[in-house]
Amino acid sequence: MSKLDEALAELKYDERGLIPAIVVDTESKQVLMMAWMNAEALKMTLQTGRTHFWSRSRQKFWMKGESSGHVQEVRGVYLDCDADTLLIEVVQHGAACHEGYRSCFFRRLGEDGTWETVAEKVFDPEDVYGRGGEGHTPPKR
């Protein structure tokens, strides 16, 4: 078993074989998104240097940016104390959110008790993903 295999064997996947991966911008440290990896998606991520995830709704692998071009170049992989959550530092091309925002966390709970959009869109989803044509549906997690 290689050192890397040993390191990866420490990870604690949940009962579905998944581990949450928090993706942050390597420069601003902003949290961009959270998605799920299985062991294979993590291997693909490490081998290619681009983030790959497992889609629970579609039951398939997806590479971030596969349809939008908004790929994430991996700069660092961190593990938490319980070994059950990953944090991935990336250079984000374009934006992380399929709704056009830099980060998926663009809504903040306001003092009036409603979700307020607190970010500006950096792209128009229709320009990037088309108007719902087949093969252009944004990757769902």
Question: How far apart are alpha carbons 66 and 88 in whole angstroms?
Answer: 18
**Closer of 25 and 71 to its own copies (Cβ):** 25
Going by the DSSP 8-state scheme, the letter that residue 30 receives in this structure is: -
Question: How far apart are alpha carbons 38 and 11 in whole angstroms?
Answer: 10
**Closer of 16 and 66 to its own copies (Cβ):** 16
Give the footprint of its own copies on this chain (CB under 8 A): 2-4, 6-7, 10, 20, 22, 24, 28-31, 33-34, 46, 76-82, 84-85, 87, 97-99, 101, 104-109, 112-115, 118, 140-141
Q: How far is CA 47 from CA 23, 37, 111, 134, in A?
A: 17, 14, 45, 29
Question: How far apart are alpha carbons 66 and 120 in whole angstroms?
Answer: 23
Q: How far is the CB of 134 from its own copies (least distance, A)?
A: 21
Q: How far is the CB of 25 from its own copies (least distance, A)?
A: 9
Q: How far is the CB of 106 from its own copies (least distance, A)?
A: 7
